[in-house]
Amino acid sequence: MDQVGPDVTADNHSRRYLIAADTGGTFTDLAVFDTQTGETRFGKTLTTYGDLVAGVIAGLEDTKVRLDQAAIFKHGTTHVINAFIQRQGARTALVTTKGFRDVLEIARGNRPETFNLRYRRQECLVPRRLRFEVAERIEGKGEVVQPLDRKDVERLIPVLRAAGVEAIAVSLLNSYVNPIHEEEVARMLSEALPHVYVTSGTRLSREWMEYERTSTAVGNAFVGARMSEYIAGFFSELNDRDFRGRFYLSSSSGGVITAEDAIAQPIALVESGPVGGCIGAAAYAAALELPRIVAFDMGGTTAKCALVEDGRFDVVSTYWVGGYERGFPIRTPVLDIVEVGAGGGSVAWVDENKRMRLGPKSAGSDPGPIAFGRGGIEPTVTDANVVLGRIGSDSFMGGRLLLDVESAKTCISEQLAGPLGYSGPDAVDRVSQGILDLANVTMAGAIKEITVERGRDIRDYQLFVFGGGGPLFAAELARDLGIEEVVVPPHPGAFSSLGMLMTEARRDAARTFLSALSPASIVGAQSQFEVMERELRDSMSAEFDVSRICYLREADMNYVGQSHTVRVSLPPELSVGAVRSAFEREYLARYGHSNEGMEVTFVALRAGGVVPTARPSLEAVKWVGEVNAEPGPSFYRQIYFARAKARLTTPVYRRSDLPIGAAIEGPAVVEEYSSTTVIGAGDRLVVGKLGELRITCAINRRTERSTHE
């Protein structure tokens, strides 16, 4: 976009603000950092579905920041994932190799819901009548077996025009090893149909597997045609308010990219929003020297987690739009975030065998929990927190939403405690605690799954929590996972937009590189990396200060004969010995065994280019309010604790009253706008140097309701 010229500098004196706007599923969050005063401000509005820009502008008004004083505007958006989920994309056609028109529909023939007779995948984004074949053939090593028949392409042009297609994906067999035909087809179609959005699969992914790459190309074309409209719309709104800074979008791999990149490669924005929190977590982990953390984000409708090691997170190369079970894959680097639960809205119920169950149904934000008084009638995790006194009935959202504790109690009593046979004065408390325990075990199970899958031991990690619900669960979840320390950053309820302020510019490239590890393949890999790095540098030079570029080199590798690969971070100096030991270290960590003497091979090479951009210092965001010299509790509340099996008179602190170094012994509650931290007896909370709450958990591996009686 020409509006963002390279002449604009981020540290221009009159442009003092860095802005991050994250349009999420329920809320649009904004964070604004003032580079002159070091102050951070937040805005929060409901996401407006028809018009995502409107929500951002409304939130911006909350912060009272003038756009003409903004140097950088970073935007995380649900636009791409919404377009997929609501199927509101372009009328898209697919052009492929003769004989392979149905690759998209045949997929891989698998049925992940093994015993479901009615199982079917979501319908293809391109119907069969819009899937076309051209005569050409490249074989598995990249040789041209049959030259491209240009007449076939020419004959297609009027057909595509007549069909009124708005976007075309070109994906030819074996193009990952030689894209010459694919590029030629894409070029011919772009020239003949200048108003049609054309994507070729190998521009997005140079990796093998025809279904996955075709699906990637189709997904990109489907959302791509509308991406420029969205960005142009966003831009004109910003320009109307005299914005003259740089505009970036938050990509799923954890960096920011330019508007041009976002338009060419919109699938890079598929998880644009949720990455913000992880980036923030990584920034804190680096600043606080926390070597291994689990970033845990719990909101009203989902709980997600990611592993951050040495301030870095993993990026995976395949994302399933709509889920693995029924959705479709796109090959795009996505920060490795996994959904681990349904959040505060999960509904508890009693099944036919009189067992309490939790989820998968969620009350979400509409009708929401019973206690919100918006028509919810089924008990949720949030209701259990309210009933137990963990969430203050009059302090939720700074008192803006009063909670109906009595209705929540009545429903839990009637729908759960009664049918389950609990009686006595503490029946509702015990069942409510049971809801939290079930939520905990479900989330803990999912977190263990992602750590085991990656060959990690969860007990080596610290739990870093954010989102409205994260700090509520943190101490209990940590106990269940065997984790000793929990960290709650400043502003946990607005953390994802805060994190987005910290993102750097990042682009990624990858190539399938099938070559056994040898001195010759090291030379080949080295030159492939140099080519990719040159491409990354060139593609970023117009927009970013590439004199500060850092490269990341990774390889997908395995033992000869395996089909799954391990992602290995490569040393700066490539050599057979160094690569092999990096591979074996990673393999051993992941699988617990390595196979000495077995030949090792490269499957793919991955390069990342990262350029630092202006970002707030964490020192600057630590102060969350006025400092009270003698911090004491604001008041006391009766809260039920599982380990005590009773309600305890518990001090409630305001977070803004707690200075650095303050220490609190549990049980205690720390409240702030849009989040509540609960610690139990034996837990100890200390306010750390960046204003973070550090909770040391009393580890008790046996649960209170031990069966040894």
Partner 1 sequence: MNKMLASSLAVPAVDPIELQIIRQRLIAIPNLIEKNIERTAFSLLVQEYKDYAVGFVDARGQLVTQSRYSLPAFVANALGLGVRSGLAAFGEKAMRDGDVFFVSDAEVLGGHLNDICMFTPIWIEGTLIGFFAVIVHWIDVGGATAGSCLAPTATELSQEGIQYPVMRLVQEGRRLDEIFRLIAKNTRFPRLLMGDVEAQLGGCAMGRELVREVVAQHGQAGILAAIEAMRADSSQNMARAIRAVPPGTYTASSFFDDDGVALDQPIKVNVKVVADGETLTIDFSDVSDQVPGPFNSGRDGGAVATARMALKFLLSSSTPVNEGEFDNVRVEIPDGKFLSAGPEAAHGSGPNTHASVVDTILRAFHEALPDMVPAGHHGIFGTHTITGVNERTGERFLCMDAMSGGWGAFANSDGPGPFRSTAHGDVRDVPVEIQEALYPYRIETKRLREDSGGPGRFRGGLGVEKVYRFLQPLTLMNKLDRTKCPPWGLVGGGPGKPAGGEVIRASGERHPLRKGILAVGKDDVLVISSGGGGGHGPASERTADRLNADVLEGYVTVEGALSDYGIVLKNGADKGQGELPPA
Q: Which of residues 118-147 bind partner 1 (CB under 8 A)?
A: 118-120, 127-133, 139-141, 145
Q: Which is nearer to partner 1, 262 or 450 (CB)?
A: 450
Told to check if 442 binds partner 1 by CB under 8 A, we report: yes
Q: Which stretch binds partner 1 (CB under 8 A): 225-233, 431-439, 489-497, 650-658?
A: 431-439
Told to check if 100 binds partner 1 by CB under 8 A, we report: yes
Please identify which residue in 593, 629, 649, 661 interacts with partner 1, judged by CB under 8 A: 593
Maximum CA pair distance of the chain?
Answer: 83
Question: Binding to partner 1 (CB under 8 A): which residues in 331-370?
Answer: 352-357
Q: How far apart are the first and last CA of the chain?
A: 70
Side chain identity at 627, as an amino acid letter? V
Angle (CA) 126 268 57, round 5° = 105
How many other C-beta atoms lie within 10 A of the C-beta of residue 176? 23
Residues 287-293: contacts with CB within 8 Å, 24+ apart? Answer: 287/618, 287/690, 288/487, 288/688, 288/689, 288/690, 288/692, 290/462, 290/464, 290/487, 292/456, 292/460, 292/461, 292/462, 293/461, 293/462, 293/463, 293/464, 293/487
Q: Which stretch binds partner 1 (CB under 8 A): 391-399, 438-446, 496-504, 662-670?
A: 438-446
Distance of CA 649 to the CA centre of its chain: 38
What would the two tokens of residue 552 be?
Answer: 């990341």
Q: Which stretch binds partner 1 (CB under 8 A): 104-112, 238-246, 373-381, 539-547?
A: 104-112
Told to check if 692 binds partner 1 by CB under 8 A, we report: no
Q: Which is nearer to partner 1, 421 or 572 (CB)?
A: 421
Told to check if 326 binds partner 1 by CB under 8 A, we report: no
Q: Which is nearer to partner 1, 585 or 705 (CB)?
A: 705
Binding mask 173-212 for partner 1 (x = CB under 8 A): xx-xx------------------------------xxxxx
Q: Which is nearer to partner 1, 115 or 400 (CB)?
A: 115
Question: Binding to partner 1 (CB under 8 A): which residues in 473-532?
Answer: 514
What would the two tokens of residue 191 be?
Answer: 């020239």
Told to check if 423 binds partner 1 by CB under 8 A, we report: no
Told to check if 592 binds partner 1 by CB under 8 A, we report: yes
Please identify which residue in 109, 424, 519, 661 interacts with partner 1, judged by CB under 8 A: 109
Please identify which residue in 144, 377, 550, 598 interacts with partner 1, judged by CB under 8 A: 598
Classify residue 138 as exposed, middle or buried by CB count within 10 Å of its CB (0-12, 13-18, 19+).
buried
Told to check if 112 binds partner 1 by CB under 8 A, we report: yes
Question: Binding to partner 1 (CB under 8 A): which residues in 201-260?
Answer: 208-212
Q: In which residue are the tokens 């020192």 written?
A: 619
How many other C-beta atoms lie within 10 A of the C-beta of residue 684? 15
Told to check if 559 binds partner 1 by CB under 8 A, we report: yes
Question: Minimum Å distance from CB 106 to partner 1?
Answer: 6
Told to check if 1 binds partner 1 by CB under 8 A, we report: no
Write out 579-613 in H/E/C secondary structure.
HHHHHHHHHHHHHCCCCCCCCEEEEEEEEEEEECC
Q: Which stretch binds partner 1 (CB under 8 A): 42-50, 178-186, 440-448, 517-525?
A: 440-448
Told to check if 708 binds partner 1 by CB under 8 A, we report: yes
Question: Minimum Å distance from CB 119 to partner 1?
Answer: 7
Strands 167-171 and 197-200: parallel
The CA distances from residue 368 to 340, 382, 434, 480, in Å, are: 20, 9, 20, 27
Question: Minimum Å distance from CB 336 to partner 1?
Answer: 14
Told to check if 627 binds partner 1 by CB under 8 A, we report: no
Distance of CA 449 to the CA centre of its chain: 17
Q: Which is nearer to partner 1, 109 or 572 (CB)?
A: 109
Told to check if 161 binds partner 1 by CB under 8 A, we report: no
Side chain identity at 266, as an amino acid letter? P
Strand partners, 170: 95, 200
